[in-house]
Amino acid sequence: MRKSLSFLVAFAALLVVPIAQAGPGLLVGVNDDSPKWKADPVLAAAAADLGIGAYRLTMGWDGSQASLSGADRATLDRVTRNIHGQRVMLSVFGRPDSAPHSDAARTAYCAYVGAILSSYPTIRTVGIWNEVNKASFWRPQYDGSTSVAPTEYVKLLAACSSLRSAFPNVVLVSSLSPRGNDNPNAASNVSHSPVRFIAGMGTAVRGLALQSRIFDHFGQNVYGTSSSERPFRTHPNNTDIAEGDYAKLMAALTSAFGGTAQPVPGTQGVTVWYLETGFQTTIPSDKRSLYSGAENDAHPLAAAAPGPDPGRSDGASAGWDQATQLADAIRLASCQPAVGAIFNFHLADESNLAGWQSGVLWADGTPKPSYAAVKAAIAQVNGGTVDCAAINSLVMTSSHVSFSGKGKARTTRSRKPH
């Protein structure tokens, strides 16, 4: 079992054209469930030292509950005791077949969220479900060949928007996976690509004639197809959305929500939040006893000090490692104008190699060689000193460059609703 389900995140603010410097304002955070279970002074100290500004945690919903159980309160009591000084974001979701599809179920779900907000005034940021464009989190995606999930999700977002009357400072965040197959008859992973799901959401907003915003920030996971893929990489000929596909994402959001009551991110205080990204590392021999199982990434990276590109047979250097990848991802997000946050999946690694080793701490809580580079990048973001002209030059030179191996598309992770 991993020492702690943690996460490193950061940042958002300005890109597309060369800009001399990024401005402050990007949120730095980590996906981290460990505060739900116990105080961990090692991880807490690392989060403070790195400059982390937010924790994203998961909260399970049983499909019908409208109030907090005793176990829920005990969990949230621990969260509020164990997180100090950082913003708390709760992503509330249940099993895929418990996704709310009736007025009664939506009312219960939103009442449950309201019970959290009422009892815990330090929690005001809520993720409405998780990766709703995938059947592994939300079912059904289709009714026969007809897409239904985007409309059903919009109905849930609209129902929960009523929470603003009781909690004017609540922040509601949506959540999409970076890829999907758009195939209702797929043998597995029936899903929508984010581009098509966003289009379906826009159609639903217009068809339902909604008169108020349904989300305050648009949550998008932005993993590449492998840890070796550069964060600048674009995917112009498909419907994937990774971090380098900012222009494609903004075009989809503008087309879907332009002219509706839902502000397009980048306007009226609404932004894009990169809820998850991550770059897995190889495990050195002196840390191998901390881990078990088989690696799930065909191209994990050295934590620091570039080594041979795992996607090439001639042993040529990749020219990057986790330190480079994650620091570049942080700086890139800070230079994309409509982006308001970026979250790394994990602060400390999962010890099961079937999970994710994308933290900047090993599973025992000690720093990886990438730690210092990531800390420096976060400091630049928090200080508003990222050189976006330099980032833009990297975008221009590497956005179409990929590793030569095929890698493994990221479709699932080990994290489950509790």
Q: What is the CATH number of the domain that holds 261?
A: 3.20.20.80
pLDDT band at 192 (very low <50, low <70, confident <90, very high): very high
Max mean pLDDT among 19-23, 149-153, 238-242 falls in 149-153
The string of DSSP letters for 371-417 reads HHHHHHHHHHHHHT---HHHHHHHHHHHTT---SS--------S---
Indicate whether 380 pLDDT > 80.
Answer: yes
Whether 200 contacts 150, CB under 8 Å:
yes
Of the listed ranges 176-185, 232-241, 273-282, the one predicted with least confidence? 232-241
Residue range 340-360: mean pLDDT, rounded: 96
At residue 24, the pLDDT reads 52
| Cα-based distances in Å from 381 to 45, 150, 160, 245, 328 | 20, 34, 32, 20, 11
At residue 65, the pLDDT reads 96
How does pLDDT run across 208-231, given as a tens digit for each residue? 999 999 999 999 999 999 998 999
Residue range 3-16: mean pLDDT, rounded: 29
Indicate whether 269 pLDDT > 60.
Answer: yes
How does pLDDT run across 15-53, given as a tens digit for each residue? 333 333 444 589 989 998 999 999 999 999 999 999 999
B/e letters for 317-351, b = 16+ CB within 10 Å, e = fewer, are ebebbbbbbbbbbbbbbbbbbbbbbbbbbbbbbbb
At residue 306, the pLDDT reads 57
Q: State the DSSP code for 76.
A: H
Whether 234 contacts 399, CB under 8 Å:
yes
At residue 109, the pLDDT reads 98
Indicate whether 194 pLDDT > 90.
Answer: yes
Q: Do the domain assignments include residue 414?
A: no
Q: Do the domain assignments include residue 2?
A: no
pLDDT band at 310 (very low <50, low <70, confident <90, very high): low
CA 381 vs. chain centroid, Å, equals: 18
Q: Do the domain assignments include residue 410?
A: no
pTM for this predicted structure = 0.89
Q: How many CB atoms lie within 10 A of CB 375?
A: 19
Residue range 323-341: mean pLDDT, rounded: 95
Q: Do the domain assignments include residue 409?
A: no
350: Cβ–Cβ under 8 A, 6 or more apart, which residues?
Answer: 2, 5, 356, 357, 363, 414
Mean pLDDT across the chain: 87
Q: Do the domain assignments include residue 372?
A: yes
Assign 3-class secondary structure to 95-155. Answer: CHHHCCCCHHHHHHHHHHHHHHHHHCCCCCEEEECCCCCECCCCCCCEECCEECHHHHHHH
At residue 46, the pLDDT reads 97
Q: Which of 406, 418, 382 has its CA nearest to residue 22?
A: 382
Q: Do the domain assignments include residue 203?
A: yes
Whether 256 contacts 199, CB under 8 Å:
yes
Of the listed ranges 5-9, 100-104, 195-199, the one predicted with least confidence? 5-9
Could you give the CA distance from residue 320 to residue 304 in angstroms, rounded to a whole number? 8
CA 413 vs. chain centroid, Å, equals: 12
Domains in the chain: how many in total?
1
Residue range 190-203: mean pLDDT, rounded: 98
Q: Do the domain assignments include residue 416?
A: no
Indicate whether 271 pLDDT > 80.
Answer: yes
At residue 28, the pLDDT reads 85
Indicate whether 315 pLDDT > 60.
Answer: no
Indicate whether 237 pLDDT > 60.
Answer: yes
Boundaries of domain holding 292 = 9-398
319: Cβ–Cβ under 8 A, 6 or more apart, which residues?
Answer: 306, 309
Residue type, 337: P
Could you give the CA distance from residue 249 to residue 307 in angstroms, rounded to a whole number? 32
69: Cβ–Cβ under 8 A, 6 or more apart, which residues?
Answer: none
Could you give the CA distance from residue 95 to residue 59 in angstroms, rounded to a whole number? 11
Whether 2 contacts 363, CB under 8 Å:
yes
Residue range 56-81: mean pLDDT, rounded: 97
Q: Do the domain assignments include residue 406?
A: no
At residue 320, the pLDDT reads 76
Indicate whether 308 pLDDT > 80.
Answer: no
| % pLDDT > 90, the chain | 79
